[in-house]
Structure 1
Amino acid sequence: MSTYLTKRFVYMIVILIAASFLIFSLYALTPGDFISGNIKLSPERKAELREIYGLNKPLLERYGLWMKHAFQGDFGFSLAQQKPVLKLFNEYIWNSFLLAIVSTFLTWFIAVIVGVVAAYKQYSWFDTLVMIGIFAAMSIPSFFIGLYLIKILAVDLKWVPPGGMLTTGSNATGFAYYSEVLHHMLLPVIVLTLLGLGSLTRYFRSNMIEVIKQDYIRTARAKGLKEGKVLFTHALRNALLPAITLVGFELPALFGGSLITEKIFNWPGIGQLYIQSFSLRDYPLLVGFTMFIAILTVIGTLISDILYHIADPRVRL
């Protein structure tokens, strides 16, 4: 295990260095930036700022300086927000994490239960309704679902607030603060759960259909085991093995998958900040966030490989 982890760590470093150069180059070579697009600045002031921030230097020199600072924990300075990139991450990323972790838990929990029952009752009315719901969830865009739920639940029925994280002007503290946050996050969590539920439920359903046809499942039933124990103890464990590979993509998706949803519901997360940075051409922030997603992807892939080995020791690392 230690030898494997050492090799993977070396591979991770090489992959991240290559990814960092590609990410930095793509943004650096993109025409325009925050300074050149600011019409309030005079040409002399623009030239001065470009000199201060090193934007007039060659690409390789700029990349070398960025990597040097990155190894020291400095991913750059946001020109639009006038704050260090890591400081902005610390301010916004926990709001995104709150949405993502709750919606991910609900998505996997519901997908496992619905997928197992749909596979067990294949071709029944329940399975038919599940398949219709799956294709509907996969086909409808996130912005449409979000706006539709705002119209029905927030505007018409007034059950939940239409957006934001807190009520405007709120000074709530303690339990009242947490209650207010939970009330505001209901709609975005519902949308994120619906978006991920369709494909994941279909994945578990197809895996379970294959597993419950195996000989050892028939043997377990012949021994007189209860059907629930056969499905959720014997069959589900093997059906989960292919799904473990998805864990590697879940980690970066925690922060990168809610960009549009955060914008629709005006949720103060890193996704909304990322979208705003595009219109402002705030490339230091864009590079930092994209690099952060790359790091999460590499780490998530390593975690999924290790979990697969733990779940099935026959698989060699």
Structure 2
Amino acid sequence: MSTYLTKRLLYMLVILFAASLLIFCLYALTPGDFITGNIKLTAERKAELREIYGLNKPVLERYGLWMKDAFHGNFGYSLAQQKPVLQLFSDYIWNSFLLAAVSTFLTWVIAVIVGVISAYKQYSWFDTLVMVAIFAAMSLPSFFIGLFLIKILAVDLKWLPPGGMITTGSNATGLAYLKEVVRHMTLPVVVMVLLGLGSLTRYFRSNMIDVLQQDYIRTARAKGLKERKVLFTHALRNALLPAITLVGFELPALFGGSLIIEQIFNWPGIGQLYMKSFGLRDYPLLMGFTMFIAILTVIGTLLSDILYRVADPRVRL
């Protein structure tokens, strides 16, 4: 195990080094930046700022300075927001994490339950309705579902607020603040669950159908075990094993935010900040965030491999 972890860590360092070089070069070589596109600055002021922030230096030299600062926990300074990149992360990323964590938990719970029942009742009316709903959810774009729910639940029925994280001008604290956040996050969570539920339910259904045809399932039934125990103790445990590989990809999604959903519902998350940074060409923030997602992706892949080994001792690392 220790030998495997050592090799994987070395691979991770190589991958992250290559990713950092690619990310930096892509943004550094893109024409224009925040200073160049700012029409309020004079030519002399632009040249001064480029000199202050080292934008006139060669790309590789700038990359070396950027990596040196990154090793010390400094991912640069956002010119558009006038704040350090890490401070912006701490201000926005936990809002995205809250939204993504709740929606991911609900998506997996619902997908497992519906997938198991659908596989057990294969070709029944329930299975048919589930498959139709799955393909419908996968075919509808996120902005359409979001705007439709806003129109029905927020504008027409006025059951839920249309956007934001709290009511404008609210000074609520404690339990009242928590209730406001829950009400405001309900609509975006529902949309994110609907978007992720289709493919994941289909995945669990397919795995469960394969497992239910195995010999040990027939043996468990022949022993007289209750059908619920056969499904959720023997079959589900093995059907979940392939899904462990998906856990690694959930980690960057938890902190990466949902770009479209946060824009639709005006949720103050990292995804919305990331989209605004594109329009402003705030490359330090874009580079820092992209590198952060790359780090989470590599760590998530390692965690999924380790979890697979823990869940299934037959797998040799």
- TM-score bracket, shorter-length normalisation: over 0.9
Matches within 5 A, 1:107-126: 107-126=107-126
Secondary structure of residue in 2 paired with 1:237:
helix
Q: Which residue number in structure 2 is paired with residue 155 of structure 1?
A: 155
Q: Which residue number in structure 1 is paired with residue 275 of structure 2?
A: 275
Q: Which residue number in structure 2 is paired with residue 139 of structure 1?
A: 139
Code of the residue aligned with 1:227 in structure 2: it is E
Question: 5+ residue gaps in structure 2?
Answer: none
Is the alpha carbon distance of 1:70 and 1:105 closer, same or farther for their aligned partners in structure 2, counting shifts above 3 Å?
same
Code of the residue aligned with 2:221 in structure 1: it is R
**Distance in 2 (alpha carbons) for counterparts of 1:91 and 1:257:** 13
Code of the residue aligned with 2:164 in structure 1: it is G
Q: Which residue number in structure 2 is paired with residue 236 of structure 1?
A: 236
Q: Which residue number in structure 2 is paired with residue 55 of structure 1?
A: 55
Q: Which residue number in structure 1 is paired with residue 208 of structure 2?
A: 208
Q: Which residue number in structure 2 is paired with residue 265 of structure 1?
A: 265
Contact 2:93/2:257 (8 A) holds in 1 = no
Shift of 1:257: 5.2
Contact 1:78/1:282 (8 A) holds in 2 = yes
Contact 2:257/2:269 (8 A) holds in 1 = no
Query: Percent identity at matched positions?
Result: 85
Matches within 5 A, 1:20-59: 20-59=20-59
Q: Which residue number in structure 2 is paired with residue 164 of structure 1?
A: 164
Contact 2:257/2:270 (8 A) holds in 1 = no
**Distance in 1 (alpha carbons) for counterparts of 2:131 and 2:302:** 32
Code of the residue aligned with 1:315 in structure 2: it is V
Q: How many residues align?
A: 317
Is the alpha carbon distance of 1:211 and 1:130 closer, same or farther for their aligned partners in structure 2, counting shifts above 3 Å?
same
**Distance in 2 (alpha carbons) for counterparts of 1:148 and 1:55:** 45
Contact 1:255/1:271 (8 A) holds in 2 = no
**Distance in 2 (alpha carbons) for counterparts of 1:174 and 1:312:** 43
Q: Which residue number in structure 1 is paired with residue 98 of structure 2?
A: 98
**Distance in 2 (alpha carbons) for counterparts of 1:149 and 1:259:** 18
Contact 1:77/1:84 (8 A) holds in 2 = yes
Matches within 5 A, 1:166-185: 166-185=166-185
**Distance in 2 (alpha carbons) for counterparts of 1:2 and 1:59:** 38
Q: Which residue number in structure 2 is paired with residue 130 of structure 1?
A: 130
Contact 1:34/1:281 (8 A) holds in 2 = yes
CA deviations 1:169-217 (Å, max 9, x no partner) are 0000011011110110000100111111000000000000000011100
Q: Greater shift after overlay, 270-279 or 247-256?
A: 247-256
Shift of 1:254: 1.5
Shift of 1:256: 3.0
**Distance in 2 (alpha carbons) for counterparts of 1:135 and 1:251:** 26
Code of the residue aligned with 1:252 in structure 2: it is P
RMSD, aligned α-carbons: 0.7
Code of the residue aligned with 1:205 in structure 2: it is R
Q: Greater shift after overlay, 65-74 or 243-252?
A: 243-252
Contact 1:134/1:198 (8 A) holds in 2 = yes
Q: Which residue number in structure 2 is paired with residue 77 of structure 1?
A: 77
CA deviations 1:212-240 (Å, max 9, x no partner) are 01110000001111111100110001101
Code of the residue aligned with 1:19 in structure 2: it is A
**Distance in 2 (alpha carbons) for counterparts of 1:128 and 1:55:** 59
Contact 1:54/1:62 (8 A) holds in 2 = yes
Contact 1:277/1:286 (8 A) holds in 2 = yes
Contact 1:245/1:304 (8 A) holds in 2 = yes
CA deviations 1:94-149 (Å, max 9, x no partner) are 00000010000000000000000000000011001100111111111111110000
**Distance in 2 (alpha carbons) for counterparts of 1:203 and 1:256:** 23
Secondary structure of residue in 1 paired with 2:242:
helix
Shift of 1:9: 1.1
Secondary structure of residue in 1 paired with 2:80:
coil
TM-score with structure 2 setting the length: 0.99
Code of the residue aligned with 1:235 in structure 2: it is A
**Distance in 2 (alpha carbons) for counterparts of 1:118 and 1:236:** 13
CA deviations 1:285-316 (Å, max 9, x no partner) are 00000001000000000000001001111101
Secondary structure of residue in 2 paired with 1:242:
coil
Is the alpha carbon distance of 1:282 and 1:67 closer, same or farther for their aligned partners in structure 2, counting shifts above 3 Å?
same
